[in-house]
Amino acid sequence: MQITNRVAIVTGAASGIGRATAVALARAGAAGVALADVDEPGLGTTAIAVKEAGANPLPLRTDVGDAASLEQLFRETRAQLGDFSILHNNAGLPTGEPVWPEQSAASIGALVDVNLKGVILGTRLALEPMRAAGGGVIVNTASIAGHTVLPPEAAYCATKAGVEMFTRCCKPLVESHGVRVCCVCPGVVDTPMIRPDADGDVLAHVRPIFDALTPLQPEQLAAAVIGLIEDDDCAGRVQDVPNEGRA
């Protein structure tokens, strides 16, 4: 699909991969980009970057784990930007501390709601508007963690494995709804998600992996997302974007 003059929606757009993808979509010619996140100050910063890149931004505070909030996102996007044909289900949470199995029930519930439920709900709610507008493309953000054994990240890995399988199961939607669904699976990406401390250091349990590999930059993932959107032969694809080992 050509991105020029299209309307796109990006969740988790306040920083990291979401911000980079929103800006990349604007640079690729998108007419408007709806920006969804719970981080309103971050959304404001992304909106400025999207506008500077040439697209009309629409920042909307959105909880992707809540169906009503997602419905409002899609409704407001159509009302203010017009029909949308691109959705990047990108919002996600890290494991944080403590890790599995000491991880709290609340933390596990939040991971499932945002990382998996948000992707499934977002896709379901976008399908009819996309079909009515002539079809579209949905790209989900999974992770190489979805097919890698990382015991401290057990719950996180499970959510990302779920996103992969969900994406594969959505392949027939290209025939029934005119909507291609794919997902990108990054390795370790240098984003605020893994740098929660005020001093900018990475999560302690991630540090050994971070030190052994060259971390990906958000812009590399944005380029992969753009490639999936533009590849009309791509449906149900699960695309890895791995790290390189440090010399």
Whether residue 17 is contained in a domain is answered as yes
Give tens-digit pLDDT for 142-166: 999 999 999 999 999 999 999 999 9
CATH code of 128's domain: 3.40.50.720
C-alpha to C-alpha distances, 171 to 14, 41, 53, 234, 236, nearest whole angstrom: 29, 36, 32, 9, 4
Per the structure, how many domains does the chain have?
Answer: 1
Residue 131, domain member (yes or no): yes
Are 241 and 216 in contact, with CB atoms under 8 Å apart? Answer: yes
Please, what's the largest Cα pairwise distance for the chain?
A: 51
**247 has pLDDT over 70:** no
Q: Which two tokens stand for residue 185?
A: 């699976």
Looking at residue 112, its pLDDT comes to 97
E strand spans, 113-201? 136-141, 179-186
Q: pLDDT exceeding 90 applies to what percent of the chain?
A: 83
What is the reported pTM? 0.94
Query: What tokens does 24 get?
Result: 């990349």
- At 39, phi and psi to the nearest 5? -90, 90
Q: Is residue 102 part of a domain?
A: yes
| pLDDT of 205 | 64
Looking at residue 199, what is its pLDDT? Answer: 60
- Domain membership flag for residue 245: no
Residue 179 is predicted with a pLDDT of 98
pLDDT per position as a tens digit, 196-245: 565 667 666 667 777 777 889 999 999 999 999 999 999 999 999 998 87
The answer as to whether 13 is a domain residue is yes
Q: pLDDT of 85-143, one tens digit each?
A: 999 999 999 888 898 999 999 999 999 999 999 999 999 999 999 999 999 999 999 99
Residue 203 forms part of a structural domain: yes
Mean pLDDT within 182-195: 86
Asked if residue 78 has pLDDT above 60, the reply is yes
Residue 213: other Cβ atoms inside 10 A: 15
Predicted pLDDT at 194: 67
Percent of the chain with pLDDT over 70: 93
Instruction: Give the pLDDT mean for 39-54.
Output: 98
Kindly state the tokens that stand for 22: 């929103």
- What is the C-alpha to C-alpha distance for residues 121 and 91, in angstroms, rounded to an integer? 12
Catalytic residues, by residue number, are 156
Which structural domain, as residue segments, surrounds residue 110? 7-240
* Whole-number average pLDDT of the chain: 93
In a domain, 37, yes or no: yes
